[in-house]
Amino acid sequence: MPITIKNPIEQEKMRLAGRLTADVLDMIGPHVQPGVTTLELDQICHDFIVGQQQAIPAPLNYRGFPKSICTSINHVVCHGIPGDKKLRTGDMINIDITIIKDSYHGDSSRIFFVGKPTVQAERLARVSHDALWLGIQAVRPGARLGDIGHCIQSFAEAERFSVVREYCGHGIGRSFHEDPQVLHYGKANSGIELVEGMTFTIEPMLNAGKRHVKLLKDGWTVVTKDHSLSAQWEHTILVTHDSYEVLTLGAAERP
């Protein structure tokens, strides 16, 4: 997949897709409660995306993925498949939403706590969120991809968490995953230069233990090898003439 530069009309379509993606996350938040299953969360999101938004849940049947959203609990790093397991007080869950509206994709994920979080979960979630925003703030025309990864990695490791290497952010537009790959580690002043009109995700995964992951036999679920806690947040970003625009801000965060 090549890098695509979006013209103003395409940027407007990316804005709409991004806003709808954030709306799904805003909608599902209050449903994250002890006793609810991730399958129920999937069904609620599916119905909202298809019925209210007249949009398409991009994960459904994407390379054989069986559900409409990804739900990754505790030591699951990413790509958890919704199922009949009930959420329990103290769980931490990442819900990752990707929708297609008018042929353009929006992609965002957030951490939600089920009841009161543990001290470690709260800190990992906060540091992961801060790491995402440090990466976002490195975005402007003329900056380079490595600057984003460097900001995230140096901050995360100073906080004594590790950064997952096997999965990365990605260009996004008419396709779910376009070039470039947006690594969450790396060297400042390296990699391709950012250009106005690029759209890509930043979606760092931080582990409380070692960075290594393994793929479960279902072919999708990624977990930490040492079973330590993992957290992820994701936004879709547009490179503007002088900085960045976050296309997937929740209603409460919009200017």
Using CB under 6 A as the criterion, which residues of the chain lie in contact with ligand MF3 when the complex forms? Answer: 59, 62-63, 65, 70, 79, 96, 98, 107, 201, 203, 220, 234
Whichever of 61 and 120 has its CB closer to Co ion, that residue is 61
Interacting stretch for Co ion, rule CB under 5 A, among 30-38, 42-50, 96-104, 148-156? Answer: 96-104
Shortest distance in whole angstroms from residue 215 CB to ligand MF3: 12
> Residue 180 has which token pair?
């470039």
CA angle 90, 119, 72 (to 5 degrees): 45
CB contact at 8 A, 33 and 44: no
Contact letters for Co ion, residues 211-240 (x by CB under 5 A): -----------------------x------
Shortest distance in whole angstroms from residue 101 CB to ligand MF3: 15
Torsion of CA 26, 32, 33, 37, to 10 degrees: 150
Whichever of 86 and 165 has its CB closer to Co ion, that residue is 165
Whichever of 144 and 170 has its CB closer to ligand MF3, that residue is 170
Whichever of 75 and 110 has its CB closer to ligand MF3, that residue is 110
Whichever of 108 and 153 has its CB closer to ligand MF3, that residue is 108
List the beta strands (DSSP E) in 83-229: 92-101, 104-113, 162-163, 169-171, 178-182, 199-202, 205-207, 213-215, 222-224
CB contact set of 126 (below 8 Å; sequence gap of 6+): none
CA distance 234 to 78: 11
Give, as one character, the DSSP assignment of residue 52. Answer: I
Nearest Cα to 121, choosing from 63, 201, 208, 53?
208
The entry of Co ion, ligand MF3, none that residue 235 binds, CB within 5 to 8 Å by partner kind: none
The entry of ligand MF3, Co ion, none that residue 62 binds, CB within 5 to 8 Å by partner kind: ligand MF3
Whichever of 89 and 93 has its CB closer to ligand MF3, that residue is 93
Shortest distance in whole angstroms from residue 89 CB to ligand MF3: 27
Give first-to-last CA distance, the chain, whole Å: 33
Provide the residue type at 173 as one letter: G
Shortest distance in whole angstroms from residue 65 CB to ligand MF3: 3
Interacting stretch for Co ion, rule CB under 5 A, among 3-11, 24-32, 105-113, 134-142? Answer: 105-113
Instruction: Give just the sign of the alpha carbon dihedral 95, 52, 176, 61.
Output: positive
Shortest distance in whole angstroms from residue 132 CB to ligand MF3: 12
Whichever of 65 and 90 has its CB closer to Co ion, that residue is 65
CB contact set of 207 (below 8 Å; sequence gap of 6+): 77, 161, 162, 163, 164, 224, 228, 229, 230
Shortest distance in whole angstroms from residue 203 CB to Co ion: 5
The residue nearest ligand MF3 at its CB is 59
